[in-house]
């Protein structure tokens, strides 16, 4: 396993105990602790590579399948208006995909979550969404356990 000193995602991939909801020897799926976006999740490739195009075909297909399964779980439990899927890596150049449930009432909609906020999501709405996180973890586990 290739790791790079100082890379926060390499450190996360090596963490024990793992914060992952699901993991195997190639990738980990985590729920991001983001108060404004309950259900925000990531697929993190364990080897330190920068781009999806750095992967052999079989690994690229495995990663794409993981992002797809995670999106399905997020849609099933969080029931968002839209799901944003992004692989940026500008700040942390380690291959990872963001899967983010989006709602018309979220702080940034319709802009990306990294843009300037245009409203405040009511605390009660965020609390209801946060209460779904155990169900989301179960849905992720179920989808990945099924192969």
Domains in the chain with CATH codes: 8-145 (3.30.428.10)
**Is 83's pLDDT higher than 80?**
yes
Average pLDDT over every residue of 83-104: 93
- What are the tens digits of pLDDT across the range 31-72? 999 999 999 999 999 999 999 999 999 999 999 999 999 999
Instruction: Answer with the residue of higher pLDDT: 125 or 12.
Output: 125
Token digits of residue 68: 């797809």
- What are the tens digits of pLDDT across the range 96-127? 999 999 999 999 999 999 999 999 999 999 99
pLDDT at 147: 64
**Is 13's pLDDT higher than 90?**
no
Rounded Cα–Cα distance for residues 91 and 75 (Å): 27
Q: What contacts 19, CB < 8 A, 6 or more positions away? A: 12, 30
Strand order in the sheet with 96-102: 22-23, 27-31, 41-45, 96-102, 82-86
């Amino acid at each position: 396993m290739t790791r790079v000193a100082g890379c926060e995602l390499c450190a996360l991939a090596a963490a024990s105990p793992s914060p992952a909801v699901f993991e195997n020897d190639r990738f980990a799926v985590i729920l991001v602790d983001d108060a404004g976006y309950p259900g925000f999740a990531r697929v993190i490739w364990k080897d330190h590579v920068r781009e999806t195009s750095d992967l052999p075909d079989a690994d690229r297909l495995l990663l794409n399948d993981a992002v797809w399964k995670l999106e399905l779980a997020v849609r099933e439990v969080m029931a968002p208006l839209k799901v944003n899927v992004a692989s940026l890596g500008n700040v942390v150049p380690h291959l990872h995909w963001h899967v983010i449930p989006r709602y018309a009432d979220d702080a940034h909609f319709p802009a990306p979550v990294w843009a300037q906020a245009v409203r405040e999501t009511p605390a009660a709405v965020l609390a209801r969404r946060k209460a779904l996180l155990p169900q989301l973890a179960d849905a992720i586990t179920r989808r990945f356990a099924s192969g």
